[in-house]
Amino acid sequence: MTDLPRTRLSQGLLPLTSFAFLTAALDVFAGNQLQAHSPATVAAISFTLATVFFLGGGMIRQGVAATLRPIRDNRYDVIMINVTTAVTWLSMLYALRFLEPAVVNVVGLALGPLLTVLVSPVLRPGTTVLRTEIIISLIIGVMIAMLVWGSFTGRSAVGERSMTDTAIGIALTLITGLGSATNVIYSKRLSEAKLKPQSVLALRFFLMIVAAWALVAFDDRRGITAAFVPSLVIAVIGVAVPLYLLQVGIKHTEPITASVLLTLSPLFAFFLQLTDHRLTWSVLTFVGVIGIVSLVAISTVARAKHDAKAVSESTEEARISS
């Protein structure tokens, strides 16, 4: 029984690490493509295709009533995961127009542990946040501040940008981090309500689709054809596959653990972005990414040890009481 937490962690580790890599690839690819295409258009096409796949697949396998039942049974969580998904993705796609992918990735995702420490006890009463996780989350917050400073002073991979563009990019990235942290928690709540990953993915993009197509109607109706192929790629490598992996990983881990594991993505993004001719090597970004990834390892080990000890003590208490 003492191996149970490690087994669960290992079951979540591969999907979450794969999600982190694909998210990094998405950020680099999208950061390049969004210089030519509207973020709203890319989002509208990508998430519509992903929803057709998951929602249509669910209806074929389970029927319409069973696929849509969570909207009735878990109405609040379904609404909130729609809200947090729309906020997270729209903010991230627009932020990639102004900042280097690794900075958007690290600031948006590394905020997860810090924000999860604050909101998890409220949204999921009874969960425990470790002292180590709190300390590491605060240090990550300091490193995020360093990367923000580097973006404003031209020390990031995109070099000098206007203060306005950088400020907009940072603000959107901070919103991305907030949305990502709360999104993980609502994903976990739906998983704990016995919803399969496919069921969650079938229902989480409705608001995103409506908002994105509304923006397209006002901004970029003529750009749909040109953006279709890049959006199809993003729908596969950035939406359908990684979000399925994320939901599977979340099923086997605590939100704080998932949020911390996802901060591996900036390391992938940093090296992948070197293939983009627009970007240059940034020592500051590299130091920030390496520091955060190192903290990830420490926090993950601490959580695994805590979970193993908790199950061991619970098993011992049950044995004594019987």
Per-residue pLDDT tens over the stretch 305-316:
777 777 777 777
pLDDT at 2 over 50: no
- Residue 1: per-residue pLDDT: 41
Q: Report percent pLDDT > 90 for the chain.
A: 10
Q: Report percent pLDDT > 70 for the chain.
A: 84
- Give mean pLDDT, residues 219-235: 82
Mean pLDDT score across all residues of the chain = 80
Measured distance CA(94)–CA(31) in Å, rounded? 9
Over its C-alpha atoms, the chain yields an Rg (Å, rounded) of: 20
- Could you report the per-residue pLDDT of 69-92, keeping only the tens digit for each? 888 888 899 999 999 999 988 998
Is-contact 151 170, C-beta < 8 A?
A: yes
Measured distance CA(135)–CA(34) in Å, rounded? 36
| This model's pTM is above 0.95 | no
- Give mean pLDDT, residues 192-221: 86
